[in-house]
Amino acid sequence: MTIKTVHMAVYDTLADWEVGAATAHIANNGWHREPGTFQVVTVGLSTDPITTAGRLRVTPDLALADLDPADSAMLILPGADLWEGDALAPFEEAARRFVAAGVPVAGICGATFGLARAGLLDDRAHTSNASEYLAYSGYSGGAHYVDAPAVTDRDVITADSMSPFEFAREVFTRLEVSEPRIIEAWYQLFAHRDPAAYAVLAEYEAAHA
């Protein structure tokens, strides 16, 4: 089995709640089509520890300078207070490189501001916390803004800060971690507490054990 790596960017003030559902359930993969296929590797501007919004200390596995899209299945960009400044500009450039290489990028909350500033939302359907928020980036994609929790368009996933489960669903779908009905069951269970969805996941795991 070939292991596919999902890279998640980490930096100071990272919004923990926005990406936890996606990363935890990439790793907790009993309901995946092929359990054990994916792993999550963290990427920082350097390998120095960062501090999240929740005051967790995270030591990146990899420095951004050593990240190659050819080694990745996806780059996940969490929100953070730093996106409106220049501190995370290197991740904007990384996002451009990934999309140019045909490797998907998923940004949530403030990271959508970075994707807009990188020019990746100028001609793609996308969302964010509000259209007015993205307008401050100076991008030219306002006509493609969609008022939805999460949107995928040509290898770019965007989501607002209030929709971690919708964001995760788009990530799982783009990675094809499982069949669409199983991904939807995961979403219905965790986003809407649907007990019938738990039964679907349990049955699938038992059948593929």
Handedness of CA 57, 63, 69, 72 (dihedral sign): negative
Q: What is the DSSP string of 75-131?
A: EEE---GGGGSSTTHHHHHHHHHHHHTT--EEEETHHHHHHHHTTTTTTS-B--S-H
* DSSP single-letter state for residue 145: B
Q: Write down the catalytic residue from 14, 15, 75, 109.
A: 109
Q: Which two tokens stand for residue 87?
A: 């501190």
Among this protein's residues, is 109 annotated catalytic? yes
The residues near 52 (Cβ < 8 Å, ≥ 6 apart) are 10, 12, 13, 14, 15, 16, 58
Q: Which residues are catalytic?
A: 109
